[in-house]
Structure 1
Amino acid sequence: MQKSISLIIAFLIFTICSAQNKFGNPEVDPIQIQKNFSEWSLYQSKNIMLSRDFVALDLLSKEISKETFLNELTNGNFIPIRLKSDDSIYYYKLFKIDPNSDSSIKATINQIGFDALKNYKMEGTPFPKFSFKDLNGNEVSNEIMKGKIIVIKCWYIHCTPCIREFPQVNRLVEEYKDRKDILFVSLAEDNPEQLKAFLARKPLSYAVIPEMKIYMNETLDLNAFPTHFILNKEGLIAKVLPNFESLEVALAKESELKSN
């Protein structure tokens, strides 16, 4: 009996240690990274992808829900730091904001937390009904695209980050050109004449739907561009993403899930 208890205890210790070994120390010093807003901003933009799937951890390294994590970033005094890990999973942990740090750091974190939380809450909900015509006169609607994965890019001509990722999203379209169950559509604020002149210089491989400003602002409630949506074959929002890097990862996962 005593031997059995010892084995159980040993097993529990092994399990706990294995779980702890999945991730290690922060990849940057949480205090040092707050010394300068520019350094924090650069780190955050390259390493903190809140739209991705990740394991969320509180101050004590206890796993919490993604929604709780994002809510803390939105309303609290925390910064997210990625932890080193031995696997491909992202581990983000909350750390306290240094009271002496630049106030812009907290303001920025609260904003990205707010945006990420709003996007996260859209996942699993139906994409609003739509029926529009693209620049070539083709009808684009929920019904016509039913049963397909739809990638939607929201943008406008004078959005520098939107245009900067054109080469990347065009390569993505090329990568999935043989997948007839995946469609690429873009919603643009600008009118047809402006778009045709612009796209003659800066081609975009997506179908382009013009004059979508009111739809994007009011129906989709967007306040940041670019924004990407991935809709699954049931017409539900699988992911809402702020940049190409997150889009590429999420589409690879969704296309793999739905390839059969």
Structure 2
Amino acid sequence: MKLIFNIILFLSLSFSVLSQTKEDSAHYKLLYGESDTYYAALNQLSLVGEDAPYLFAESASGQLYTSQDLGDKVVLIHFWFLSCGGCLKESPVLNRLQDSLGNNEHFQLLAFANNSMEDLKRFLAQDSVYFGRKWATIKKHPVLNFPLLPDDGAAVFNLFKGWAYPANILIDRNGFVRKIIHAHELDMEGNDFFDYLYGEINQLLNE
């Protein structure tokens, strides 16, 4: 009986992934036309339904995260970098997600920055914003309450076939990539983007 249930679940998820992939592909074509950006987005979309790349990384606070540790968790991977204004605009949304779901043992948010560990730690210690390798005390950066991990050289970003920052990848509790999310493609920000991400995460948590 359990085998039959697992087969039905697998077929259901496969159909859902295929349907979503076709929909996303059509959306990309409308947004980007027959451009290099379209093919880069399509290349990343090929990850959906596949096993997520193996992860082994240390956060700026010294916490080690591995794919084994993340088993049976819905994982939201966020890609960003310090001098990216659009990335920092998404930070309040990620903070709200962490506040709302951080205590759920089946959820994990990880933010990989294309910066060194040294720069990440300095960023967290400064009341300033970061421009390239210069610091400016214009305003205090948002206090980030989620794990920050260095991805200097974009090794993890490239494992996930990344092509644009900021980017968000949703991985389900079975370790499969389920969704590639760029806020600019959805024309969302703030509360709307939070509601969208929260809904997608909860859907995976309830599967």
- Relative to the length of structure 1, the TM-score reads 0.55
Which of 235, 243, 246 pairs up with 2:175?
Answer: 235
2:9: which partner in 1? none
Task: Determine if contact 2:43/2:161 at 8 Å carries over to the other structure.
Answer: no
- Flag the 1:67–1:149 CA change in 2: closer, same or farther, 3 A: closer
1:185: which partner in 2? 110
- Deviation of residue 70 (structure 1)? 5.0
Which of 130, 149, 158 pairs up with 1:209?
Answer: 149
Alignment of 1:163-178 (within 5 A): 163-178=88-103
Q: Where do 5+ consecutive residues of structure 2 fail to align?
A: 1-16, 128-140, 184-188
- Deviation of residue 120 (structure 1)? 2.6
Match status 1:255 vs 2:199: no
- Deviation of residue 175 (structure 1)? 1.7
- Bigger drift between 241-250 and 126-135 goes to 241-250
- Flag the 1:165–1:236 CA change in 2: closer, same or farther, 3 A: same
1:226: which partner in 2? 166
- The number of equivalent residue pairs is 167
Task: Determine if contact 1:229/1:239 at 8 Å carries over to the other structure.
Answer: yes
Match status 1:156 vs 2:81: yes
Of the two structures, which has the highest relative contact order with CA contacts closer than 8 Å and spacing of 6 or more? 2
- Deviation of residue 136 (structure 1)? 1.6
- Relative to the length of structure 2, the TM-score reads 0.68
Task: Determine if contact 2:55/2:67 at 8 Å carries over to the other structure.
Answer: yes
Task: Determine if contact 1:151/1:185 at 8 Å carries over to the other structure.
Answer: yes
Task: Determine if contact 1:135/1:192 at 8 Å carries over to the other structure.
Answer: yes
Whole-angstrom CA distance in 2 between matches of 1:219 and 1:121: 12
For residues 89-108 of structure 1, the C-alpha deviation after alignment (integer angstroms, 9 at most, x for no partner) is: xxxxxxxxxxxxxxxxx76x
Whole-angstrom CA distance in 2 between matches of 1:111 and 1:248: 31
- Deviation of residue 149 (structure 1)? 0.6
